[in-house]
Amino acid sequence: MLWTNIFAGFGGQGVLLIGQLLAYAGMYEGKNVSWLPSYGPEMRGGTANCSVVVSDDPIASPCINMANCVIAMNRPSLDKFEQNVLPGGKLFINSSIIDKKATRTDIDVYYVPCNEIADSLNNPKVGNMAMLGAYLEATKAVDSKSVLDALLYKLGEKKAHLIPLNEQAIELGKQSVRDQIK
């Protein structure tokens, strides 16, 4: 099993965090993982992305050019990274704020209304978790339980009360993928 992923969006959408949660979850499950953020001038321009690899075998390159999965949280990310999905790979689009459809026909595309899901939970911050849920449903790369363990570690005991909210967001993200597969 080898999942190579690019998570991209603008600063504040939590793309680096969901990438990290995936890496932690993979590690908890005994897999090899790497998380590499962009830290160049593009980061200073307000957009953020990270490459995450989850693999049964030792990871060769942590630098991803062509990925199994691309997660685009905003329009510039879709424009930039749609071409980086491997044929047969998966593309996740935050349809709440991306008004464009994918142009590729050789990949699976999932439209996830992240912001609407977050709004339905009365917390605009959990849109990223909805996207992560969608990713987990479509890939089964790691178990959501491991992701929640990772989130608890990141939040710490003081913020543990936020876990159920995040769990709901993940579940709604998963549901949106199930609805599209049907």
Partner 1 sequence: MAKKLMKGSEAIPEAAIQAGCRFFFGYPITPQNDIPEYMSARLPKIEGGCFLQAESEVAAINMVYGAAAAGARVMTSSSSPGVSLKQEGISYIAGAELPCVICNMMRGGPGLGSIQPSQGDYFQATKGGGHGDYHLIVLAPSSVQEAVDLMHTAFDLADIYRTPVMLLADGIIGQMMEPVEFHEHEKRELPEKPWAVTGYDPKSGRKRSIVNSLYIEVDELQEMNDRLQARYKEIQEKEVMVEKYNTEGAEVIICAYGTVARICKSAIAICAEKGVKVGLIRPITLWPFPEKELNEVMAQDSVKRELTVEISAGQMHEDVRLAINGAKPTDFYGKPGSYTPTAEEIAEYILKTREA
Task: State which residue, 37 or 97, has the beta carbon closest to partner 1.
Answer: 37
Strand, helix or coil for residue 61: coil
As a whole number of angstroms, the distance between CA 128 and CA 166 comes to: 9
DSSP for 21-52, written as a single string: HHHHHHHHTT-EEEEEE--SHHHHTTEEEEEE
Is position 3 an interface residue for partner 1 (rule: CB under 8 A)?
A: no
Is position 27 an interface residue for partner 1 (rule: CB under 8 A)?
A: yes
From the CB of 91, what's the least distance to partner 1, in Å? 19
Interacting residue with partner 1 among 34, 96, 139, 176 (CB under 8 A): 34
Give the orientation angle of helix 15-28 with respect to helix 144-155, to 10 degrees.
120
Interacting residue with partner 1 among 1, 11, 12, 39 (CB under 8 A): 39
Is position 1 an interface residue for partner 1 (rule: CB under 8 A)?
A: no
Is position 41 an interface residue for partner 1 (rule: CB under 8 A)?
A: yes
Stretch 142-161 residues interacting with partner 1 (CB under 8 A): none
As a whole number of angstroms, the distance between CA 26 and CA 111 comes to: 24
Stretch 45-84 residues interacting with partner 1 (CB under 8 A): 59-63, 65-66
